[in-house]
């Protein structure tokens, strides 16, 4: 939805005012390009970091699924299932279904990367158990954010086409809910990683040198969330520039 916004917001804006040639050389596209580069760089980094440490077997030989089960049981979370899900790095915790799903690249793996990822998802489960505030806030605003992400684009487009600047600004304000959601997500992810490393250490599932590798994997994964925040912020800035340019032409 966010990527679609970056492109759909231009399709009718400049043509309406006879500025088609300008739209072909819209200087605000540089913000889209910067956001794309940041996102792709973060994605490439987490994949390469995971591949590197996925080649390093943990000394204890536990699979990620076994490690996750031990961590959950140690926290009294016996009711949470662990399932295998297809894909690569598609690992996630579903609180509604009480299940941690580990991807093909993680489930049976004994690598320190896989154990770090599995422990991270267990960290999310523990967050729900203890009522961690940021994750409660994030889950609470999901319905509102979903609505805002769908209605903000047409509101912005209609506002610019009609020359209704205030309406366009309203659309941008609604789209800011997406940015707020991403910002709230940051502490939930970094905290889950901190919990994961602390648990892997306290339960002696990884040695100290192995923890260093797992930490690099989790930090690389966290950077993808920071990249999303930066990309969305750049898109919002671009929208404001487009609206201001449209108002000046009117």
Which residue numbers are catalytic?
121
Question: Residue 84 in contact with residue 66, Cβ under 8 Å?
Answer: no
Residue linked to tokens 């231009």: 10
The answer to whether 218 and 131 are in contact (CB under 8 A) is no
Write the DSSP string, 69-133: HHHHHHTT-TT-EEEEESSSS--EEETTTTEEEEETTTTT--BHHHHHHHHHHHHHHHHHHHT-H
| Contacts with 221 (C-beta within 8 Å, 6 or more apart), sequence order | 46, 50, 117, 120, 189, 193
CA geometry: angle 40, 118, 90, nearest 5 deg: 40
């Amino acid at each position: 939805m966010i990527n679609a916004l970056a492109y759909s917001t231009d399709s009718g804006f400049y043509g309406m005012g006879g500025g088609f040639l300008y739209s072909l050389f819209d200087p605000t596209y540089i913000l889209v390009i910067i956001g794309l580069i940041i996102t792709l760089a973060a994605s490439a980094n987490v994949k390469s970091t995971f591949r590197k440490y996925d080649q390093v077997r943990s000394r204890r030989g536990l699979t990620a699924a076994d490690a996750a089960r031990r961590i959950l049981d140690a926290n009294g979370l016996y009711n949470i299932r662990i399932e295998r899900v297809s894909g690569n790095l598609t690992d996630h915790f579903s609180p509604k279904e009480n299940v941690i799903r580990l991807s093909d690249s993680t489930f049976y793996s004994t690598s320190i990367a896989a154990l770090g990822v599995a422990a991270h998802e267990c960290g999310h489960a523990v967050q729900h158990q203890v009522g961690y505030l940021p994750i409660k806030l994030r889950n609470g605003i999901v319905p509102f954010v979903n609505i805002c992400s769908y209605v903000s684009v047409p509101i912005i487009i209609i506002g610019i086409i009609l020359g209704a600047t205030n309406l366009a600004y309203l659309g941008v304000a609604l789209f800011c809910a997406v940015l707020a959601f991403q910002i709230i997500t940051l502490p939930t992810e970094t905290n889950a990683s901190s919990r994961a490393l602390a648990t892997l250490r306290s339960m002696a599932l990884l040695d100290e040198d192995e923890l260093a590798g797992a930490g690099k994997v989790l930090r690389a994964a966290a950077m993808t969330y920071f990249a999303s925040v930066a990309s969305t912020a750049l898109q919002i800035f671009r929208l404001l520039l487009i609206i201001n340019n449209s108002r000046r032409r009117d």
